[in-house]
Amino acid sequence: MPDGAVIEFSNITKTFGTVTAVNDLSFTVEPGRVTGFLGPNGAGKTTTLRMLLGLVAPTSGTATIGGIRYRDLPRPLQTVGAALEAASFHPGRTARNHLAVYARAAGLPAARIDAVLHLVGLSAHGGQRVGGYSLGMRQRLGLAFTLLGDPGVLVLDEPINGLDPEGIKWIRGFLRAMADEGRTVLVSSHLLSEVQQSVDDVIIIATGALVHRGTLASLETEAAPRILVDSPDRTALAAALGHAGIEFSVGRTGLLAAAPDAALIGHVAFLAGVELSALHRERKGLEEAFLALVNGGGDTHGNETGNASGGESR
């Protein structure tokens, strides 16, 4: 079984002309976990991954796999498997021949070709020209290329794009199995909901800069807590909150108070003699926390609540 290796980005920056696509990004990705690399379209995810793979030269900074730059890896396909967004196939070549070309370049035995075609469920279509493939089949062929060298590190750019529900379910199980075998799995997406069922850690970037890194659970605690409170006599409740100096806004189902915990609000109401009909912590969705982060822009470097590399035990 191949061993995972640590992926490390340190102060990596890429500028295209006057546009800064990736700005001083540093983070590590640990083996044995699925790490989601998230951010809106155009945030710089693909550029970052292409710099890791030696396809795009960084303006400054380094990206390494197990401490080695991709270009210096002695056996790249056997170390890192990558599936990038663009469909990179010659339409006139069969799937089997497509893989054979790169197996030849990497010095891999021909038996690997059938093995990976089987693994992604394309055994029956290996002799077919790729030009006739559906989007889902192309995604699977991209994945077959990724697995060709049985690498310990997997880098997948938007692998769920274009997959049908069955394919999405399959890839989730696949990512989990790969991480459980001890491999390093880095998977990018512009939608948190697409990957939240399969990732352990998240790295979130917006406009080329890091806005959050930590465990998936850390995202939830990210948003400022709010307490939903309601009373048959809302006017009295509002007055009591105002008197206690607690900020609040009026929502559809009650008042949303900015307070760290519900007990404080209950105490304020008790002192003012106001009857409560509802009192609970508002549960903010992961997606909302994610959106708040990426819309907040790249100026919140300080709010790391965890560390993707350290991680918290689940």
Partner 1 sequence: MTSFSRAIGAEFAKIGTTRMWWILAAVMFGYIALLAGGLSALFAGIESGAISPDAVGSGSQGLPSFGSLPPLIYSFASSIGYVFPVLLGALATTGEFRHQTLTPTFLANPRRGQVLGAKTIALFVMGAVLGVVALLASVGVGALVIGAFGLDPLLGESATWALIGRTVLAMAVWATIGVGLGVLVPSQVASIVIVLAFTQFVEPLLRFASLFTEVTQGIGNYLPGAASDALVGASFFTLAAPGGTAAAMLEWWQGGLVLLAYAIAATVIGYMVSWKRDVT
* Site residues (CB under 8 A) for partner 1, limited to 101-140: 101-102, 104-107
Identify which range of 94-102, 223-231, 266-274, 278-286 contacts partner 1 by CB under 8 A.
94-102
Nearer to partner 1, 146 or 196 (CB): 146
Contact between 62 and partner 1 by CB under 8 A: the answer reads no
- Given candidates 77, 175, 227, 255, which one binds partner 1 under the rule CB under 8 A? 77
Contact between 71 and partner 1 by CB under 8 A: the answer reads yes
Alpha carbons 189 and 218: distance in angstroms, whole number: 18
The whole-angstrom distance between residue 243's C-alpha and the CA centroid of its chain comes to 44
- DSSP bridge pairs for 280: 228
- Given candidates 42, 67, 91, 260, which one binds partner 1 under the rule CB under 8 A? 91
Question: Exposed/middle/buried for 25, CB within 10 Å: 0-12, 13-18, 19+?
Answer: buried
Of 126, 123, 120, 64, nearest in space to 95 by CA: 126
Nearer to partner 1, 73 or 292 (CB): 73
Nearer to partner 1, 110 or 263 (CB): 110
- DSSP bridge pairs for 188: 37, 157
Q: Is 56 left (phi over 0), alpha (psi -120 to 50) or beta?
A: beta
Please list, in sequence order, all residues whose beta carbon lies within 8 angstroms of the beta carbon of residue 30, skipping any fewer than 6 positions away.
Answer: 4, 6, 184, 201, 308, 309, 311
Contact between 56 and partner 1 by CB under 8 A: the answer reads yes
Nearer to partner 1, 91 or 260 (CB): 91
DSSP string, 296-308: S-S--TT---S-T
Contact between 145 and partner 1 by CB under 8 A: the answer reads yes
Site size with partner 1, rule: CB under 8 A: 35
Q: For the sheet containing 80-83, what is the strand order?
A: 80-83, 153-157, 184-189, 34-38, 201-206, 209-215
Q: Which residue matches tokens 């710089």?
A: 44
- Given candidates 55, 115, 119, 256, which one binds partner 1 under the rule CB under 8 A? 55
- Given candidates 10, 88, 161, 303, which one binds partner 1 under the rule CB under 8 A? 88
The two structure tokens encoding residue 224 = 């400022």
Contact between 147 and partner 1 by CB under 8 A: the answer reads no
Alpha carbons 48 and 68: distance in angstroms, whole number: 16
- Given candidates 2, 32, 40, 54, which one binds partner 1 under the rule CB under 8 A? 54
Identify which range of 85-93, 238-246, 279-287, 289-297 contacts partner 1 by CB under 8 A.
85-93
Kind of pairing, strands 80-83 and 153-157?
parallel
Rounded least distance, CB 63 to partner 1, Å: 13
- Given candidates 27, 70, 248, 290, which one binds partner 1 under the rule CB under 8 A? 70
Identify which range of 88-96, 186-194, 243-251, 252-260 contacts partner 1 by CB under 8 A.
88-96
Rounded least distance, CB 21 to partner 1, Å: 10
Alpha carbons 280 and 278: distance in angstroms, whole number: 7
Of 265, 263, 281, 288, nearest in space to 227 by CA: 281
Binding mask 27-46 for partner 1 (x = CB under 8 A): -------------------x
Question: Footprint of partner 1 on this chain (CB under 8 A)?
Answer: 46-47, 50, 53-57, 70-71, 73, 76-77, 80, 82, 84, 86-94, 97-98, 100-102, 104-107, 145
